[in-house]
Amino acid sequence: MKKRWTLLLTILALSSFITAQTESCLQNQSHPNYHSITQISQTDTIVREYILHIPENYDNTVASPLVINFHGFGDCAFDYAENIGNFYAFNALADSENFIVAYPQGAWRPEKESTYWQPGDNGLQDIYENDVYFAEALILDISSHYNIDLSQVFAAGYSNGGMMSYSIACSRGDLLAAAGIVSGTMLSETCLQSEYTPIIIFHGVYDEVLPYEGNMYYQSVAEVADFWLNHNNIPTSSLVSTSLNGTNVLREEYSGGTENTCLTVYSIYEEWDKEAGHDWFSDQIEGLHPNQILWNFFSDNCSLINHTEALDKPEQSYTIQPNPFHHQMTIESEVLTNQYYQIYNLQGQEVLSGKINAQSLQIDLSSLSSQLYFLHIEGQIYKLVKME
């Protein structure tokens, strides 16, 4: 979808900081890919921060897609980049698909004594007072350092970050090619009527933070979906519903909106054998990681609607046995040479890692306590159960 660009910002590179912007997330500045944007307002020098992941095969002569991934309420960009980027393997996906990821930092807001995003475009050209304007400045700043395909800029977000992604799609849809929302909801605001944005939604049916059915404070998933069907002029008659993973996931797909827009909703009932709640989802859906489904939606521009099962599966599959295990397990595949693996506990801490140099590798896990673990191999995630 062709997008209009009217970026008329002046970003002034200054050295002083607003203390309220950075006092809770000082670790951001220790990240090797830390960046900042500085602006002078009428009364202050304002600094906003972000962390970048540049794919391994980035080529400055080729314009790259950009995914802006917004963290949840109270989070720090450094921690979110480590969690979503590394633990949930979003950066590995970016490496394999060759797109850039930005993890911006929400501003510290004294009124709630936390970092968070304020959805809604209030018209102020102030990167602190208007987070939509900050998103525009962020895209401009990244494109001044890297070769960005401005027709392939996407917003993704978790929880409060999902609210922010909705907000940009709503009030500045000209900035985005598509938006993906994970465990988020949309706050009421006035949308730009001349721009139409494809939307993909992942939401846990048992979410207690932003309830799937909504409450007195937040819209339900169905209400938000209805809004985007109406905004994008997508016919409800285009609905195709499919039960996936048995009956643990319901996918609802709508297509044929203005400018070929579409809407896809994944209602997730179960995540890693538990009721799906307020999560960034990682359990495979019909053999695909939700990260991959998100990227396929972004990159295919609604062209593969109703064909999730036909999308390319990961090139390399692995056999993990026994699982559950007691003391040892074996990883087997046709080609495992020079592959790296990491094992994480439920707290997201890496407990073991190594390199695989043969088609079969036996790993001694006797030192681990009995619980659930996650095995990462080149962007794929497998659930492991350690028995007594």
Per-residue pLDDT, 294: 97
Residue 192 shares a structural domain with residue 242: yes
CATH number of the domain enclosing 341: 2.60.40
pLDDT of residue 388: 65
| Lookup: tokens for 333 | 């595949």
Tell me, yes or no, whether 12 lies in a domain. Answer: no
For residues 16 and 293, which has the higher predicted lDDT (pLDDT)? 293
Q: Determine which of 45-59, 249-263, 328-342 has the lowest per-residue pLDDT on average.
A: 328-342
Based on the fold, state whether residues 179 and 206 are members of the same structural domain.
yes
pLDDT of residue 1: 44
What pLDDT score does 4 carry? 41
Same domain, 65 and 201: yes
2, part of any domain = no
Q: What is the pLDDT of residue 307?
A: 38
DSSP-assigned letters across all residues of 227-258: HHHHHTT--GGG-EEEEETTTTEEEEEE---G
Q: What predicted TM-score, i.e. pTM, was given to this entire model?
A: 0.78
Residue 70 in any domain: the answer is yes
Same domain? For 337 and 269 the reply is no
Domain boundary among 270, 286, 310: 310
Choose between 360 and 111: higher pLDDT: 111
Q: pLDDT tens, 195-246?
A: 899 999 999 999 999 999 999 999 999 999 999 999 999 999 999 999 999 9
> Based on the domain organization, do 213 and 328 belong to the same domain?
no
222 and 306 fall within a common domain: yes
Residue 14 domain flag: no
pLDDT digits (tens, 9 = 90+) for 34-69: 999 999 877 788 899 999 999 999 999 999 999 999
CATH number reported for the structural domain that contains residue 128 in this entry: 3.40.50.1820
Percentage, residues of the chain above pLDDT 70: 88
Looking at per-residue pLDDT, the higher value among 43 and 9 belongs to 43
Beta pairing partners, 39: 46
Strongest mean pLDDT among 8-17, 89-98, 361-370: 89-98
Question: Could you tell me if 324 and 244 lie in one domain?
Answer: no
Listed in sequence order, the residues at least 6 apart from 315 whose beta carbon sits closer than 8 Å to its beta carbon are none
What is the full DSSP assignment across 296-324? HHHHHTTTTTT-GGGSPPPS---EEESSS
The three-state secondary structure class of 341 is: strand
Cα–Cα distance list, 41 to 14, 24, 49, 221 (Å) = 12, 22, 16, 38
Q: Tell me, yes or no, whether 83 and 179 share the same domain.
A: yes
CA 51 – CA 335 distance, rounded (Å): 34
Give pLDDT, residue 44: 81
Question: Mean pLDDT, the chain, as a whole number?
Answer: 86
DSSP β-ladder status, 339-344 and 350-356? antiparallel
Lowest mean pLDDT among 32-36, 263-267, 301-305, 369-373: 301-305
> Has residue 312 got a pLDDT over 70?
no
Residues 231 and 345 grouped into a single domain:
no
- Domains in the chain, number: 2
Boundary residue ending a domain (260, 277, 310) = 310
Residue 303 lies in a domain: yes
Reported confidence tier of residue 94, pLDDT bands at 50, 70, 90? very high
Has residue 124 been placed in a domain? yes
278, 310, 342 - which closes a domain: 310
pLDDT at 147 over 60: yes
The span from the CA of 113 to the CA of 97, in Å, is 38
Answer yes or no: is 210 within a domain: yes
Local confidence band at 5 (pLDDT 50, 70, 90 cut-offs): very low
Tell me the pLDDT band of 24, cut-offs 50, 70 and 90. confident
Is 245 in the same domain as 120?
Answer: yes
Domain of 344?
319-385
**5 lies in a domain?**
no
Instruction: Identify whether residues 136 and 72 lie together within a single domain.
Output: yes
Within this chain, do residues 275 and 369 fall inside the same structural domain, yes or no? no
Mean pLDDT of 335-340: 68
